[in-house]
A and B are shown apart, each in its own frame.
Chain A
Amino acid sequence: MTGFFTLFYKELLRFWKVGFQTILAPMVSTLLYLLVFFHVLEAHVEVYPDIAYTHFLIPGLVMMAIIQNAFANSSSSMIQSKISGNIVFILLSPLSYHTIFLAYVLASVVRGILVGLGVYIVTWVFFDIPLQLPIWSIIFVLLGSGILAVLGLIAGIWADKFDQLAAFQNFIIMPLTFLSGVFYTIHSLPSGWQYLSHLNPFFYMIDGFRYGFLGVSDISPYISLLIVASCLMIISMLAIRMLRTGYKLRH
């Protein structure tokens, strides 16, 4: 247990010591999104009857901030350690691969939540966003940030260089995030796009999270929960397997 808590604590310190970049900066950029979209779309878009666009948008943006930062944390921590070589201190230690996995993922989940919470608190001052079924939101925050933290770990282990990591982020994570219904409901899309959106696991995270706020969603939250939890399980197994076999870490 000491081993786990130490690595977890080290991973927390790692981003906390540069909190300006890792927490404040992403909060600011999320709030900028909010400002722009609110200004442009508030008057024109009705996503659900009787629900203001901001009430729809803000949970989406909060979730987007959470998952992006969960990904950013584990991926950058892993690739920095690999490239600077100090990953050896973890590899030389008796920490089990389950421990390494859990510490990296949970620290990244914490970062995601801190950013998301920060954004939520700031918006809460200006817009009164109801949180009707908080337990659903919490479940989806944990699962969604968990998925992205695991993906970040996988990407960080896989990438040999920073530009490979950037490619992973730009060609996989970003499109999946932006096409997941942060800014719109998929019911507003042509049916082909709706179908494609259903293949995007990020869509279920955001939809489920938003259900906790609004009490309405595109898809039953139980189905979203099933899909998101299965995704987390599958990619966790993949990441643990990579750590166990030493893929790209132990030559």
Chain B
Amino acid sequence: MLPALEVQHVSKHFGQIHALADVSLSIYPGEFFALLGPNGAGKTTLINIIAGLSLADNGVVQVMGHDVLSDYQQARLNLGIVPQELVFDPFFTVREILLIQSGYYGLRNNGRWVDEIIERLDLSDKAHANMRALSGGMKRRVLVAQALVHKPPVIILDEPTAGVDVELRQTLWEFIKQLNRDGHTIVLTTHYLEEAETLCNRVAMLKQGRIVALDNTHNLIGQMTAGNSLRLRLSPDTLPEGLQDRLSKHEDGIHELRIDHYVHIESVLAALRAANIEIVEMHLQQPDLEDVFINIMKNNNLTK
């Protein structure tokens, strides 16, 4: 299958900073893909190169098979970008902006779709308000709307939920999930890792301009060996001798025990019963994307 987004050996530096160092990545049609990494990892730089806002030092980027440099018009017709920065044109109202944006993509009578996006993004009250009169979160919704006027097959959202309230975050993701079900390829960056975990089928992690992890979300979390832990509050507050080697932490009356396989839970319970210790509170903690992220970032200390 032809990738929706193909990034091959892309490098980019700003003065001494290597913002991207030989990044390669293929994203396939229909994927819901997360691009993760700490501040300054190079996520926005990569997105800018895909969008043609930045020029790579070397490497090739294609959107739906169209080179972003030599075939930029086709590439951009296939791409919708939600920029990270809250930018807006203060001369126009929300609806005017969306119609103008449609015109840039060659769409003349786009009112119906524009009205639908306005409604789906909960902007109906503000459709005729000037951009200046919108709150930060509303401006971000308009940015999302602007990226969708031409129904692009590939949609890239650079921190779309930064500064957006809980309710809208839900509505926004519902809308994006709907677009994904309709066949749009979605790429997003976010610092809320639970969003990435629940939404995305595949994840790339960037650190200092390099890809340090690229896999299914599920596999990545599964790789966290010894990731499960059992948190117990006991009465009396002591741990039998036989379980001491599992203990990873004892804090505020909570014993935290490492559990490599679920069968080990049974032996823990048996040992407690034998020692006549009662369980007051029990909680099984499973690793999540955040643990994976922290772990991977820690293990990839490639200092300059």
Interface residues of A in 137-172 (CB under 8 A from B): none
Closest Cβ–Cβ distance, residue A111 to chain B (whole Å)? 14
* Residue in B closest to A77 when the chains form the complex, CB atoms: B91
Looking at B76-84, B121-129, B262-270, the stretch in contact with chain A turns out to be: B76-84
* Residue in A closest to B78 when the chains form the complex, CB atoms: A94
Residue among B54, B105, B108 having the largest count of chain A Cβ atoms under 10 Å: B105
* Residue of A6, A10, A85, A251 touching B85 (CB-CB under 8 A): A85
* Residue of A88, A91, A94, A251 touching B106 (CB-CB under 8 A): A94
Q: Measured between alpha carbons, how far is A90 from B72 in the docked complex, in Å? A: 13
B214 within 8 A of A: no
Closest Cβ–Cβ distance, residue B129 to chain A (whole Å)? 15
Q: Are B89 and A86 in contact (CB under 8 A)?
A: yes
Interface residues of B in 103-128 (CB under 8 A from A): 103-108
Closest Cβ–Cβ distance, residue A161 to chain B (whole Å)? 18
B137 within 8 A of A: no
- List A contacts of B101 (CB < 8 A): 89, 93
* Residue in A closest to B91 when the chains form the complex, CB atoms: A14
| Count of A interface residues, CB-CB < 8 Å | 27
Q: Are B87 and A88 in contact (CB under 8 A)?
A: yes
- List A contacts of B192 (CB < 8 A): none
* Residue in A closest to B80 when the chains form the complex, CB atoms: A92
Q: Are A250 and B89 in contact (CB under 8 A)?
A: no
Closest Cβ–Cβ distance, residue A95 to chain B (whole Å)? 6
* Residue in A closest to B104 when the chains form the complex, CB atoms: A93
Interface string of A1-15 (1 = CB under 8 A from B): 011011101100110
A19 within 8 A of B: no
Interface residues of A in 64-95 (CB under 8 A from B): 81, 84-86, 88-95
- List B contacts of A5 (CB < 8 A): 103
Q: Are B106 and A92 in contact (CB under 8 A)?
A: no
A89-B146, A250-B52, A250-B55 given; A94·B105 CB < 8 A: yes
- List A contacts of B105 (CB < 8 A): 3, 93-94
Residue among A2, A5, A93, A96 having the largest count of chain B Cβ atoms under 10 Å: A93
Q: When A and B form their complex, what is the total count of cross-chain residue pairs whose Cβ atoms lie within 8 Å?
A: 77
- List B contacts of A90 (CB < 8 A): 104
Q: Measured between alpha carbons, how far is A7 from B102 in the docked complex, in Å? A: 11
B257 within 8 A of A: no
- List B contacts of A91 (CB < 8 A): 51-53
Interface residues of B in 32-46 (CB under 8 A from A): none
Q: Are B89 and A92 in contact (CB under 8 A)?
A: no
Q: Measured between alpha carbons, how far is A250 from B45 in the docked complex, in Å? A: 12
A246 within 8 A of B: yes
Q: Measured between alpha carbons, how far is A7 from B53 in the docked complex, in Å? A: 19
Q: Measured between alpha carbons, how far is A158 from B175 in the docked complex, in Å? A: 40
- List B contacts of A2 (CB < 8 A): 103, 106-108
A17 within 8 A of B: yes
Residue among B74, B85, B91 having the largest count of chain A Cβ atoms under 10 Å: B91
Closest Cβ–Cβ distance, residue B50 to chain A (whole Å)? 11
A85-B85, A89-B146 given; A246·B104 CB < 8 A: no
Closest Cβ–Cβ distance, residue B71 to chain A (whole Å)? 10
Q: Measured between alpha carbons, how far is A175 from B150 in the docked complex, in Å? A: 46
Apart from A6-B102, A9-B100, A251-B14, 15 more pairs, CB < 8 Å? A3-B104, A5-B103, A81-B89, A84-B87, A88-B83, A91-B52, A91-B53, A92-B52, A92-B76, A92-B81, A94-B73, A94-B76, A94-B77, A94-B105, A250-B54
Cross-chain pairs A/B with CB under 8 angstroms, 30 sampled? A2-B103, A2-B106, A3-B104, A3-B106, A6-B100, A7-B103, A7-B104, A10-B103, A14-B91, A17-B91, A81-B89, A84-B87, A84-B88, A85-B85, A85-B87, A86-B88, A88-B53, A88-B83, A88-B87, A89-B87, A90-B104, A91-B53, A92-B53, A92-B81, A94-B72, A94-B74, A250-B53, A250-B54, A251-B14, A251-B53
Chain B interface (Cβ < 8 Å from any Cβ of A): 14, 48, 51-55, 72-74, 76-77, 79, 81, 83, 85, 87-92, 100-108, 146
The 5 closest A-B pairs by CB, nearest first: A6-B103, A85-B87, A93-B104, A94-B73, A94-B76
